[in-house]
Chains A and B, each alone.
Chain A
Amino acid sequence: MQEKAEIRSKYWLALFLVAAYTVPFGIGIYTDNVFFDLQWLADLTTVILNGIMQGGVYAMFAVGLTLIFGVMRIINVAHGELVMLGAYLTWMFFFYVGIDPLLALFLTLPIAFVIGVLIQKLLLNAVVGGPELTPLLITFGLGLTIIHIVEAIFTTDYRTIPYAPDALQISESINIGRSKIISFVMASFISISVFFFLKIHRIGKAIRATAQNADVAMVCGINIFHIYMITSGLAAALAVAGGALVSIQFGFNPETGVLYTLQAFAIIVLGGRGHYIGALIGGVMLAVIESLISFMIPNGTAMVEIASYGMMVFVLLIRPRGLMGPKEN
């Protein structure tokens, strides 16, 4: 019985995703935004490529969120604020010290790691393993605190980092922003490195062991509180790296972090909570559908968010595990 329901939910999810990807085309045809010529196809390709590039970056910081959830069962709603903080850190190094945003990663990532460790040590270690609401509320308060501190220092003005603004000509009619490509390559590199760290390195193995069963990890000699701190540090570093990579593409202000939190949630729900590869796939899928919507649906940019959060709700209803998440007990 259970297995049947399991397979059925998989099919429903697949069906839902196909429908979700078809809808923008349908509306596009209905509203005469779809043309069947080469130029339109080139535009569509550009849009999809852009979506994939975007998705790579989203996926990277979503992975941070999924790591924390997977290892500690903590829902960290301050994750997007760390992304925002990453953008500001990069911005500061760029404007005050004159460091290239990518080279600045060598400074911002260690800083982020320390911030993550401190958050874990001072705030989360005390409540991990307890009722889920407490850490949720703590990170909620933490997120707001970060927003207001950043606001007090930098005001609510939008900031931008002018970095590689030119576009790369791929073919005659397909071109992609250089900063997007750089971000994607960087994000892929970081995501893949972290993946192999988790897969191969002993600490990575200990992190996975803790995620699978913290009680067993403990009786097998793993100091799970160390693991929690490393996980938090890693997640914060991924968020801050995400912040650095979005900061060279988009403007940001202290409030933008909230959007990234929500985005990351939509991604990890789609990919499967706690699943690493799932988050990567979910990130790219979500970004692609978003770009399809803004490309083909009139006034699409406003619809984008409806789509991603609508998708999150539907995935939770149809198949709470998402694409690859572990079975709920």
Chain B
Amino acid sequence: MADAEIALDIQNLKKYFGGIKAVDGCTFQVPKGQISGLIGPNGSGKTTTFNLLTGVLAADSGEVLYNGENIVGLRPYEIFNRGISRTFQITRIYREMTVFENMLSASSMKVPLREARARAEQLMEFVTLTKLRGEYGGNLSYGQQKLLEFARALMTDPDLILLDEPAAGVNRTLLNNLLDHIHHLQEEQGKTVLIVEHDMNVIMNHCEKVFVLDYGVKIAEGLPEDIQTNEEVIEAYFGHK
């Protein structure tokens, strides 16, 4: 594992909200071309970490190296344009735009419209939303919104995809579908995927490496099976015996 290439090098990342240390010196390296998981009890700083990585929140200190460049301090669209894309814990699609418009909205203005349209069509096909292309985002079921958000995150063909709780509120069939897509991206296209997830089945069965956060600090990392038996992790989740 140690010799794997690194996609994202997170060094001593910090974010405090007043007295709350949401992310407190977090350090870990996301391996390239793999599916990794980021877990931890509620309030352990997973989503905040995502927000820091994507520029939605500004980090207080620390570095995030992506392709050798520190992306801390860049605006979200600048980070996005460098090839990092994300979805949200609670889906955030444009409710008053159609599925197709949602897709197109994530394409760069520099890409010719024809190409962007073709890409959108292809991705809608990929997540089986083609039939709903003219439907307003707000009219989709929650699962369909998740698929749409996922497909939208792929519009610019990002190299690194951050998924915030893709399993939450999604039925099994749809979830398996989504996981198939994720595997497809990783295996066929060599994408790096980082998943925040509470659903341990997803983490244990689909991630090659897992990072565990607690109180804004990484307390463990390793293979899923090692994490399961890690004392510190068990303590973080269940408290002292």
**Number of residue pairs spanning A and B whose beta carbons lie under 8 angstroms apart:** 67
Docked complex Cα distance between A326 and B77 (Å): 26
**CB-based closest 4 A-B pairs:** A218-B76, A220-B106, A221-B80, A209-B105
Residue interface mask B80-107, A partner, CB < 8 A = 1: 1100011010001111110001001111
15 A–B pairs (Cβ distance < 8 Å), ordered by A: A202-B104, A205-B104, A208-B96, A212-B94, A212-B96, A217-B105, A218-B75, A218-B77, A218-B80, A219-B56, A220-B80, A220-B106, A221-B81, A221-B108, A222-B77
Say yes or no for B109: interface residue by CB 8 A criterion.
Answer: yes
Report whether B92 and A216 are in contact in the complex, using a CB–CB cutoff of 8 Å: yes
A222 to B81, CA, bound (A): 9
Give Cα distance in the complex from A326 to B96, angstroms. Answer: 10
**How far, in whole Å, are A208 and B96 apart by their CA atoms in the complex?**
9
Q: B113 within 8 Å of A by Cβ?
A: yes
Given contacts A206-B105, A216-B93, 13 further A-B contacts (CB under 8 A): A202-B113, A203-B109, A212-B94, A212-B96, A213-B92, A218-B55, A218-B80, A219-B56, A219-B86, A220-B105, A220-B152, A221-B106, A223-B75
* Residue B49 at the chain A interface, CB threshold 8 Å: no
Q: Which residues of A are found within 8 Å of B85, using beta-carbon distances? A: 219
Give bound CA distance, A202 to B95, whole Å.
Answer: 17
Q: In chain B between 125 and 170, which residues have their CB closer than 8 angstroms to a CB of chain A?
A: 152, 155-156
Q: Which residues from chain B contact A217 at a C-beta distance below 8 Å?
A: 77, 105
**Chain A residues within an 8 Å CB radius of B86:** 219
CB < 8 Å: which of A203, A212, A215, A221 contacts B97?
Answer: A212
In the assembled complex, which residues on chain A have CB atoms less than 8 Å from the CB atom of B54?
Answer: 219
Chain B: residues with Cβ within 8 Å of the partner, total of 29
Contact with B along A196-216 (1 / 0, CB 8 A): 000000110110110011011
Taking CB atoms, residues of chain A closer than 8 Å to B113 are 202
Q: Which of A51-69 contact B (CB under 8 A)?
A: none
Complex Cα spacing A220 to B92, Å: 11
Closest Cβ neighbor of B104 among chain A residues: A205
For this complex, into which size category does the number of interface residues on chain A fall? 10 to 19
Interface flag for A117 (CB, 8 Å): no
Tell me the bound Cα distance from A223 to B75 in angstroms: 9
Q: Is the CB of B77 within 8 A of A223?
A: yes
Chain B residue with minimal CB distance to A199?
A: B101
Give the interface of A toward B (CB within 8 A). 202-203, 205-206, 208-209, 212-213, 215-224, 326
- Contact present for A221 and B77 (CB under 8 Å): yes
**Cα separation A44 to B75 with both chains bound (whole Å):** 57
Known pairs A203-B109, A219-B54, A219-B86; A208 contacts B97 (CB<8 A): yes
Contact A209 B97 (CB under 8 A): yes
- From B162, which residue of chain A is reached at the shortest CB distance? A219
Chain B contacts of A202 at CB under 8 A? Answer: 104, 107, 109, 113, 116
Task: Report the nearest B residue to A219, measured CB to CB.
Answer: B76
Q: How far is the CA of A221 from the CA of B155 in the complex (A)?
A: 10
Q: Is the CB of B80 within 8 A of A205?
A: no
Do A222 and B105 touch across chains, with their CB atoms under 8 A apart?
yes
Measured CB to CB, the closest approach of chain B to A16, in angstroms, equals 26
Q: Report the separation of the CA atoms of residues A208 and B80 in the bound assembly, to the nearest whole angstrom.
A: 19
B94 touches A209 (CB 8 A): yes
Closest B residue by C-beta to A209: B105
Contact, CB under 8 Å: A221 / B156: yes
Residues of A within 8 A of B56 (CB): 215, 218-219
Query: Contacts A216-B92, A216-B94, A221-B106 known; A205 to B77 CB distance under 8 Å?
Result: no
List of B residues within 8 angstroms of A223 by Cβ: 75, 77
In Å, the complex CA distance between A29 and B88 comes to: 61
Residues 60-79 of B, flagged 1 when their CB comes within 8 A of A and 0 if not, give 00000000000000011100
